[in-house]
Amino acid sequence: MQDIPDHDGGGDPYARPIKTAACCKHYTAYDMDDRHNHTRFMFDARVSERDMAETFLRPFEMCVREGDASSVMCSYNRVNGVPACADARLLSGTVRGDWQLHGYIVSDCDAVHVMTDNATWLNFTGADSSAAAIRAGLDLDCAESWIEEGGRPLRDFLSEYGIATVTQGKMRESDIDSALRNQYMTLMRPGYFDNILQYAALNETDICTGEHKSLALDGARQGMVLLKNHGDLLPLDPKKILAVAVHGPHARAPEKVMDGDYTGPPCRANTTIYFGGINLHIERKGNDREDIFLPKNQTEEILHFAAASRNPIILVILSGGGIDISFAQNHPKIGAILWAGYPGGEGGNAIADVIFGRYNPGGRLPLTWFKNKYIQQVPMTSMEFRPVPELGYPGRTYKFYDGPEVLYPFGYGLSYTKFLYETGTNGSAVTIPVPGGHCKGLSYKPSVATTLACQAVNVEGHACAETVSFNVSVTNAGGRGGAHVVLVYTAPPPEVAQAPIKQVAAFRRVFVPAKGTGTVHFTLNVCKAFGIVERTAYTVVPSGVSKVLVESRTATRRRRCRSR
């Protein structure tokens, strides 16, 4: 989306023009806002090197290396004792050094001020914090605390104290030069100074064009996830449904979204749709949810409407995160549940298209929806992803937990039709050359004895050219055409200790007409798809038999891959 067609900058990434400069945030281990006396300003995230490499750094690495983002925003919190915006290893060493960021590093708003006044890190003064941040690799402070003169904002915190750092000898002037250079190079790429000819005439009238609204509608429809459809209640037939009763907080204007909308039982309509969920007053920076239930008034309303309605009702949930709606999933008078996320300006049309069958839903959940009991088993202050048996922590995400407290698993999503999978092969062997220094040890389960000369291949510095290819045939066995997302996971050899249950390796969306078959081709890079992070924090490809899992909601196809 950011690229300009036919302009590659001659191979120089800094000279390659872009339409927009993307920023990835908040870097990193930023999992706490405000909960039980822990705030984002003072929280110290204690993270193992393994979890850092495997989970907390990985999305930002993809953002910079594969997405060529122009900016990374560091977070308020500390990571293992050091503020993220003053950690030279995280900023200069990793983002700019290892990942080769072609842009600038910016703080979350006032993070340098927070370092001084909130976190009181090392009792630093404003000048000390400013020097530490810029020397660590920070280029810009997103500032809210302005120094005013005559009632007019004049200078921000970092600019004010940045000057003092040089005069006090705490920082070189060349450090400021480098920060400015990174910012101005980024400004040049989207044409801030000399414009980009083909976009020079764009203005407000280009925002809500029919083409753009159509794009917003398509994006919203693709993101819809059908969670329940008992007895094929959906889609509704508009020729048979003459009246629909619409209730719930999200049926009102946004400012009234949490007020509730109970107006008594539906009397004239045979079909009831309840628009519930949460909103950005609850899901926002500076706030953590106390539980993952719906607001109590909504649960009571939904149950009341379900009992009063002649027919099973339809529940539409709007939220960003997961919600424990076990009561609705198991309720016979709640026939269908649709998760719409926060679908944007065309969201209403998108929801209607799905409910009335103009669009066949094919979305998959991008995160696991847990039951509320689960959040009581893992404190938010714990940054561990793997189970911690001695503390009773069960593990986090689909990679390390698939127990009874999962309501809807990662990747879950129904359709108005049924898809079947077939793969053309049962397995293959891959031989990875191991030049000197590329063999690493592997942690095995206690019951496993191994004499392998090379237990695992170290990915770092390896050419990693080996691939595994296969086709998946997707057959639409139903009477409606629809798009389907084929999710491909890999699972490491079962003898490896503390390894992920599975991990996403690839996905493709394919449209298959009714009674038709489509073929989806996958080529997996062995290092990326089969690599796991060992307890030493090395990313390695384990020797042995790994599996490729091609999963739908109802079926799993397995393919063996032996690494030697």
Beta strands 44-45 and 78-79, pairing class = parallel
In a domain, 189, yes or no: yes
Q: What CATH number does the domain containing 256 carry? A: 3.40.50.1700
Rounded Cα distance, 178 and 488, in Å: 43
Q: What's the pTM value of the predicted model, to 2 decimals?
A: 0.92
Same domain, 380 and 451: no
Same domain, 260 and 319: yes
If you average pLDDT over residues 403-430, what whole number do you get?
A: 91
- Domain ranges, residue 465: 419-563
Q: Which two tokens stand for residue 556?
A: 């799993």
Rounded Cα distance, 437 and 458, in Å: 8
Query: Which DSSP state fits 403?
Result: S
Determine the pLDDT at residue 557: 55
Three-class SS of 278-327: CCCCCCCCCCCCCCCCCCHHHHHHHHHHHHHCCCCEEEEEECCCCCCCHH
In a domain, 2, yes or no: no
Please say whether the beta carbons of 139 and 183 come within 8 A.
Answer: yes
If you average pLDDT over residues 357-368, what whole number do you get?
A: 97
If you average pLDDT over residues 536-564, what whole number do you get?
A: 76
248-267 pLDDT, tens per residue?
999 874 543 333 333 444 44
Lowest mean pLDDT among 15-24, 181-190, 418-427, 485-494: 418-427
Counting residues of the chain whose pLDDT is more than 70, the rounded percentage is 92
Lowest mean pLDDT among 159-163, 313-317, 377-381, 472-476: 159-163
Kindly indicate the confidence band of residue 269, based on its pLDDT and cuts at 50, 70 and 90. Answer: confident
Determine the pLDDT at residue 154: 58
Rounded Cα distance, 389 and 446, in Å: 16
What is the residue type of 339? W
Identify which has the larger pLDDT, 556 or 131: 131
- What's the first-to-final CA gap in the chain, in angstroms? 40
Same domain, 110 and 140: yes
Q: What counts of helices (H) and strands (E) characterise the chain?
A: 13, 30
Please report the DSSP string for 357-392 in residue order: TSS------SSPEEPHHHHTTS-TT----S-BGGGT
Determine the pLDDT at residue 346: 94
Determine the pLDDT at residue 268: 62
Same domain, 361 and 447: no
Same domain, 155 and 272: no
Same domain, 353 and 450: no
163-219 pLDDT, tens per residue?
889 999 999 999 999 999 999 999 999 988 988 888 888 888 888 899 999 999 999
Q: Which two tokens stand for residue 185?
A: 């190079």
Determine the pLDDT at residue 145: 59
In a domain, 354, yes or no: yes
Determine the pLDDT at residue 563: 58
Q: How many residues does this entry show for the chain?
A: 564
In a domain, 184, yes or no: yes
Counting residues of the chain whose pLDDT is more than 90, the rounded percentage is 73
Same domain, 111 and 147: yes
Determine the pLDDT at residue 357: 97
Q: Does 34 qualify as catalytic in the annotation?
A: no
If you average pLDDT over residues 85-103, what whole number do you get?
A: 97
Q: Using alpha carbons only, what angle is made at residue 500 by residues 499 and 501, rounded to the nearest 5 degrees?
A: 115
Kindly indicate the confidence band of residue 129, based on its pLDDT and cuts at 50, 70 and 90. Answer: very high
Same domain, 389 and 454: no
If you average pLDDT over residues 22-48, what whole number do you get?
A: 92
Determine the pLDDT at residue 147: 59
Same domain, 177 and 96: yes
In a domain, 176, yes or no: yes
- Where among 408, 437, 453 does a domain terminate? 408
- Rounded to a whole number of angstroms, the CA Rg of the chain reads 26
Same domain, 14 and 34: yes
Nearest CA to 427 out of 547, 296, 335 is that of 547
In a domain, 523, yes or no: yes
Same domain, 150 and 66: yes
- Asked, as a colleague might, if the bond just before 26 is cis with ω within 30 of 0, I would say yes
In a domain, 413, yes or no: no
CA atoms within 13 A on the CB side of 407: 22
In a domain, 102, yes or no: yes
Determine the pLDDT at residue 433: 82
Q: What CATH number does the domain containing 184 carry? A: 3.20.20.300
Determine the pLDDT at residue 258: 31
Rounded Cα distance, 136 and 124, in Å: 15
Determine the pLDDT at residue 164: 86
Determine the pLDDT at residue 287: 87
Q: Using alpha carbons only, what angle is made at residue 428 by residues 425 and 429, rounded to the nearest 5 degrees?
A: 180
- Indicate which residue of 33, 51, 108, 141 is catalytic: 108
If you average pLDDT over residues 363-390, what whole number do you get?
A: 95
Kindly indicate the confidence band of residue 36, based on its pLDDT and cuts at 50, 70 and 90. Answer: confident
Determine the pLDDT at residue 263: 43
485-531 pLDDT, tens per residue?
999 999 999 999 999 999 999 999 999 999 999 999 999 999 999 99
Mean pLDDT (the chain, rounded): 90
Give the count of domains, the chain.
3
- Where among 408, 429, 451 does a domain terminate? 408
Q: What CATH number does the domain containing 535 carry? A: 2.60.40.10
pLDDT at 546 over 60: yes
- Where among 198, 231, 263 does a domain terminate? 198
Same domain, 379 and 489: no
